[in-house]
Amino acid sequence: MSASENISEPKKSGVSRRSLLTSMGLGAGVIATTGLLSACTTVASTGSGATGGGVAAGSIGGSSYDAEIKKLVAGRELQIGWTPPILSEFFKQMESAAFGRMAELEAAYGVKWKWERSSPTGNFDAVEQQISTVRGWTTRKFDAVLVCTGANFATMQDVYQEASASGTAVFQFNQPVEIYAPEQISTVSNIGYDNRWQSGYLAGKFIADTLGGKGTVIQIMGPSGSDWTKARLIGFAKAMEENPGMKVLGTADGGYVREKGLNAAQDLLTRFRDVNAIYGENEDMALGALQAVDAAGLKSWDGKEGIVIVGADGLISGMDSIAAGKLTATIDVGSVDQGRTFIDTIFQNVVLGESVGKFINVPTRVVTKKNVAAAQAYINNALQPSKTY
């Protein structure tokens, strides 16, 4: 799997990113976490996802180990704040997975979780709302906050520094931290994936491989200037570069929403008649592109011919479409593993006082018709946590 080579791209200077250890391709354990919890995380996040997250309560590190940790935890209460940029299917999957992991840790170690979700509604003041959310949690002396935001990078670093100064540990999730200098990032840890090599590159390589290294692509991008878009594009461009037979005909802005993705795909399909593949940089836009392909009377990929349509994120709705033979593939960026992993990371760092890696990348995978059932089962299992908070 070439992902691991790409993850160790020399660009990322000095700092030993977690990703070097952890992303040994599909099927490997997520985070060989420092010490104590490694056993459980491996079980929890078997890449292809067949096992699911349901570890029987109380069996995490052997009964005597569990009992000792329980003594150390001593029924501690942990107040956690979680703020995604918007409430969506993707983040709902992640939150459910987090709940599942919290329930497991609670059963095994007696840690008492208090969870507060705060998600803006996408209106004009969404970004300001998240900033004041984190500040509010800092003021209320939360133990840990989890942030994923489209807000200004520098502003957030200020906010994070204030938080750490007053004793609130800050973690980011799903944030494209890879495009910033590691030393500028003021969080304890960043749980996510490398958008360049674990998403954009995978999509590009999948398209090239499927088409036999030769063909034309159109791109439906997220909003210009978005960090996610920037990062994924770097990886996608790299994959195109490695396959000189591939040609990117044109790009359009689909704003990460289906309606705009559909319109953009329609327009590009009108402009270019001979399109072999469409890269929708998130699933909603890819599904919109699929509708445009259908409406134009074109055929989507059937294994031999048609237009290859690839999305990214890994939503149940996208996977349903893959299972139905419509969407060709999507890049599952580990909504479930991110949720479980950030709970583990908080437990390790805030409760047990262990050191954690600053950059923890979960495995991502190309989901096609072949492995979609496993990926769906993994997410569906996570969507039914034994307890919600």
Contact residues toward another protein (CB under 8 A) are: 86-89, 91-92, 116-125, 128-129, 131-133, 135-136, 139-140, 150, 152-155, 221, 223-225, 250-253, 257-259, 262-264, 266-268, 270-271, 273, 284, 287-288, 291, 294-296, 317
Q: What are phi and psi of 219, to 5 degrees?
A: -115, 130
To which H or E segment does residue 233 belong? helix 227-242
Tokens of 371: 């492995």
Of the two residues 25 and 150, which places its CB atom closer to another protein in the complex? 150
Of the two residues 222 and 357, which places its CB atom closer to another protein in the complex? 222
Of the two residues 45 and 130, which places its CB atom closer to another protein in the complex? 130
Of the two residues 219 and 361, which places its CB atom closer to another protein in the complex? 219
Tokens of 36: 């104590």
Report the alpha-carbon angle 245-251-256, nearest 5. 125
Q: How far is the CB of 184 from another protein (least distance, A)?
A: 8
Tokens of 334: 């580990």
Q: How far is the CB of 228 from another protein (least distance, A)?
A: 13
Q: How far is the CB of 174 from another protein (least distance, A)?
A: 15
Q: How far is the CB of 34 from another protein (least distance, A)?
A: 32
Tokens of 108: 């095994």
Strands 329-332 and 365-367: antiparallel
Helix (H, G, I), strand (E, B) or coil at 3: helix
CA 52, 57, 62, 65 dihedral sign is positive
Q: How far is the CB of 254 from another protein (least distance, A)?
A: 10
Of the two residues 28 and 179, which places its CB atom closer to another protein in the complex? 179
Q: How far is the CB of 300 from another protein (least distance, A)?
A: 14
Whole-number Å distance between alpha carbons of 74 and 110:
7
Of the two residues 120 and 215, which places its CB atom closer to another protein in the complex? 120
